[in-house]
Amino acid sequence: MSSDASHDLELLRAVAAGDEEALGRLYDRHAGWLTVRLSRRCSSPEVVDQAVQDTFLALWRGAETYRGGGDVGAFIWGIGIRRLIDALRREGPSMRWSWSTRRSKSSEVVVSAEDQVLVGVEHGRLAPALASLSPELRAALEATVLDGLTTAEAARLLGVAEGTVKSRCHRARQALRAALADAQGPTLPNEHTWGTT
């Protein structure tokens, strides 16, 4: 275990014992990247900020639920994505995903190839179909297709069973196919070939 991972584990154990300072240190270590990653999923900074706050509140209340089976950062991410899904559910289907860019040292915007593809997904013909998915279906599809996680990794991330991830991805693909067929847009490849090329 790396020294950072070991330090995070010590802090999390201290949080479970009621140490507010340890929670503040975990916040300082993890809130930044959590905000960035959640911002790639949601276009509203207010919703993202609320999800981050809710994440650390949930961490304060439930640090003892950490089983020690993985990285503390992954545990925090799992809480964070669930809090964002809850927030998106409250906001309704009009809430859109957004894809961010990063800045280089020369202050020029540098857009990665992945971001270019994702922007094309959001603003292309697939955007309305993706927007029509429930947050749960969208999160499962994003985790497995866009983030490239295995079903087991996505299940841990989303806090659901592997079978639930598979079912949600299957339902999401069916809904996307139907929406694209209705819009006379391009058809999606067979679900069994996704991620194999």
- Nearest CA to 35 among 72, 106, 91, 83? 83
Cβ–Cβ < 8 Å for 59, 15:
yes
Cβ–Cβ < 8 Å for 132, 183:
no
CATH of the domain at 131: 1.10.10.10
Same domain assignment for residues 82 and 2 = yes
Q: Would you place residue 6 in the very low, low, confident or very high pLDDT band (cuts 50, 70, 90)? A: confident
Position 43 scores a pLDDT of 77
Position 99 scores a pLDDT of 40
Same domain assignment for residues 117 and 89 = no
Q: Which of 58, 81, 98 is the C-terminal boundary of a domain?
A: 98
Same domain assignment for residues 151 and 94 = no
Same domain assignment for residues 74 and 112 = no
Q: Would you place residue 13 in the very low, low, confident or very high pLDDT band (cuts 50, 70, 90)? A: very high
Position 131 scores a pLDDT of 77
CATH of the domain at 9: 1.10.1740.10
Position 105 scores a pLDDT of 44
Position 110 scores a pLDDT of 41
Count, residues in the chain: 197
Same domain assignment for residues 89 and 135 = no
Same domain assignment for residues 119 and 55 = no
Q: What is the number of domains present in the chain?
A: 2
Distance CA 7, CA 113 (A): 34
Q: Which of 81, 98, 115 is the C-terminal boundary of a domain?
A: 98
The more confidently predicted of residues 41 and 8 is 8
Tally of CB atoms within 10 A around 139: 25
Q: For residue 35, with 0-12 CB atoms within 10 Å meaning exposed, 13-18 middle and 19 or more buried, which class applies? A: middle
Same domain assignment for residues 35 and 117 = no
| One-character DSSP codes across 103-153 | E-TTS-EE--HHHHHHHHHHHSTHHHHHHTS-HHHHHHHIIIIIS---HHH
Classified as helix, coil or strand, 15 is helix
Same domain assignment for residues 9 and 40 = yes
pLDDT in tens, 71-125: 788 889 888 988 887 887 776 655 444 444 343 344 343 444 444 444 445 556 6
Q: Would you place residue 134 in the very low, low, confident or very high pLDDT band (cuts 50, 70, 90)? A: confident
Same domain assignment for residues 168 and 193 = yes
Position 103 scores a pLDDT of 39
- Predicted TM-score (pTM) of the model is 0.54
Same domain assignment for residues 23 and 112 = no
Q: Which of 67, 98, 129 is the C-terminal boundary of a domain?
A: 98
pLDDT in tens, 141-192: 878 877 667 788 778 777 789 999 999 999 999 998 888 888 664 445 554 5
Same domain assignment for residues 160 and 135 = yes
Same domain assignment for residues 88 and 178 = no
For residue 9, the enclosing domain spans 1-98
pLDDT at 30 exceeding the cut of 90: yes
